[in-house]
Amino acid sequence: MLPSPTPARALAVLRGRRIAMIRFEHVTKVYDQKSKPALDGVSLDVDRGEFLFLVGASGSGKSTFIRLVLKEDRATRGAVYVAGQNVANIPSWRVPKLRRGIGVVFQDFRLLPNKSVFANVAFAMQVIGKSRAVIRETVPEVLKTVGLEGKNNRMPHELSGGEQQRVAIARAIVNKPGILLADEPTGNLDPTTSMGIMKVLDRINQNGTTVVMATHDDDIVNTMRKRVVELRDGSVVRDDAQGIYIGTTTAAAG
């Protein structure tokens, strides 16, 4: 481990101040000079341990937000901080380290079809060089957290959609990231199954992981009553502490 990346961060820790897990400062992302920016001057703080819904129509900038946090893309203007560190200043060889601190879940699960449930989750540990013993110990534990105990040896095609998403979540959190990004994780699932997934995500959040979930699903947002940030055409139009899917137009600070 390298020492704290910036003195500012070390100072903030010393003062006991809360540091934002994810911080966007006037972030603009332009993919193509001719079209509108995908994100347009977005400023946003997500605190440690927070649960945030990112809502908005397709093309409103939710996925761009996630890509910027992962440093899959570079912000055109503004700065993105993850755990106090400006991602623009992370050299490319350190990006894997950044990503180890972030779990990601997608709408289409992205499991490896030729690997069992156990192997899919173990894969995330193998590729970062965890020992066999640690893997054998950790994977069943995580599978239990997501409610898949006893399904170690199933293949992905033998599982329901909800179960497959649980495997994907297990894989995302097995390396104990501080942040979990979920890009429409319930987009392919029916409402009941979705609620099951939300319970899992909530439990992960209770354990201290910051969760950012991009979603269309109004039922879920309305039931969970968590912070809601609404994006429209790349701008934050609403930020409610305990919001619902379509809230009033007044924006309240988180």
Partner 1 sequence: MRFAFVLGEIASGMRRNLVMVVSVVLVTFISLTFVGAAGLLQLQIDQMKGYWYDRVQVAVFLCVENSTSESCASGPVTDEQRTAIEAKLKSPELSAYVDTVQYESQDQALVHFREQLANSPIVEAVTAEQLPESFRVGLVDPEKYEVISEAFSSQPGVDIVSDQREYLEEIFGYINIASLVALGIAVVMSVGAILLIATTIRLSAFSRRRETGIMRLVGASKAIIQLPFVLEGVIAAILGAAIASGTLWAVLRYGGQWLSREYPQMGFISTQELLLVVPALFLLGALLAGASSLLTLRRYLKV
Site for partner 1 in 93-122 (CB under 8 A): 93, 96-104, 110, 112
Q: Does 127 bind partner 1 (CB under 8 A)?
A: yes
Count, residues near partner 1 per rule CB under 8 A: 26
Query: Residues 171, 226, 227, 238: which binds partner 1 (CB under 8 A)?
Result: 171
Distance in Å, CB of 99 to partner 1, minimum: 4
Residues 217/186, Cβ–Cβ less than 8 Å? yes
Site string for partner 1, 39-78 (x = CB under 8 A): -------------------------------x--------
Residues 208/49, Cβ–Cβ less than 8 Å? yes
Q: Does 128 bind partner 1 (CB under 8 A)?
A: yes
Burial of 254 (0-12, 13-18, 19+ CB in 10 A): middle
From the list 6, 188, 192, 163, the residue with the least C-alpha distance to 82 is 6
What's the token pair of residue 116?
Answer: 């069992």
Q: Which residues pair with 106 in a beta bridge?
A: 183
Q: Does 124 bind partner 1 (CB under 8 A)?
A: yes
Residues 22/49, Cβ–Cβ less than 8 Å? no
What's the token pair of residue 127?
Answer: 């590729």
**Residue showing tokens 């820790």:** 13
Distance in Å, CB of 240 to partner 1, minimum: 30
For binding to partner 1 (CB under 8 A), which residues are involved? 70, 93, 96-104, 110, 112, 123-124, 126-132, 135, 171-172, 175
